Amino acid sequence: MEKLVSYPISVIYYLLFGLTLLIFHPIQWVCFNVFGYQAHKKSVDYLNLFLVGCTNFVGTTYKFKGVKGIPTNVPLIFVCNHQSMYDIIAMIWFLRRFHVKFVSKKELGSGIPSVSYNLTHGGSVLIDRKEPKQAIPAIKGLSEYIQKYNRSAVIFPEGTRSKTGHPKPFAQSGLKILCKYAPDAYVIPVSINNSWKMVKFGFFPVGLGNRLTFAIHEPLKVSDYSFEEISEKAESAVVKGIKI
């Protein structure tokens, strides 16, 4: 029944979603090219506020737990499970004061209004998952960037999203590079729940009435642990916080 009801609602939803992307694309361009980084960031923040608003139209709600425990004025590495694109939209808006940047697949870097522009101009990095060697300098550059400016990187160590909510094994290479070249950083494990239900029917129609939760766990100071300890503690915290 939910799927049947969702068809007409999803048509309106995707029209609103697509229109938002189209409107904010030139706004981003002007902000970036005329006014610089801070203006561009503001435009991206409000883009994602409007995208969150679009998801509210289909009954989606969001709850972030533990935000007050996130250290400030230091580089951060958010380590999260990955369930859908809505993970990213929510984190950009609700964690906007931390200037979050993403390690994303290169396919997202072209052809998508607003999204591709932000990924290629906003400080995130694009990697080719078929060329692991190319990813090393890209992630290294992101590490040095967050170290220098006290900003944040978001990494999904599963490599691809889970279609059922069940976590996949975490790869270590990307996180290891981030920790190595951002030695002042804190690793912040985050457990994401119910985002996969937004796309449980595929791209169309969209799932209705879902409550997305983001549980932010105890920060791990990179300099206080070996990489093996950080990797194990981060994965354990994320997995334990996933509710199926």
Residues 118-153 have pLDDT tens digits of 999 999 999 887 787 788 999 999 999 999 999 999
What contacts 42, CB < 8 A, 6 or more positions away? Answer: 31
Average pLDDT, the chain: 95
Burial of 213 (0-12, 13-18, 19+ CB in 10 A): middle
pLDDT score at 21? 98
Bridge partners of residue 77, in order along the sequence = 153, 187
Backbone phi, psi, residue 189, to 5°: -70, 140
- The pTM assigned to this predicted structure is 0.94
3-state SS class at 229: helix
Q: Is the peptide bond before 183 cis (omega within 30 degrees of 0)?
A: no
pLDDT score at 244? 79
Distance in angstroms between the alpha carbons of the first and the last residue of the chain: 22
Q: Are 218 and 69 in contact (CB under 8 A)?
A: yes
| Cα(184)–Cα(228) distance, integer angstroms | 17
Query: Which residue stretches of the chain have pLDDT < 50?
Result: none
| Cα(56)–Cα(77) distance, integer angstroms | 28
Q: Are 214 and 88 in contact (CB under 8 A)?
A: no
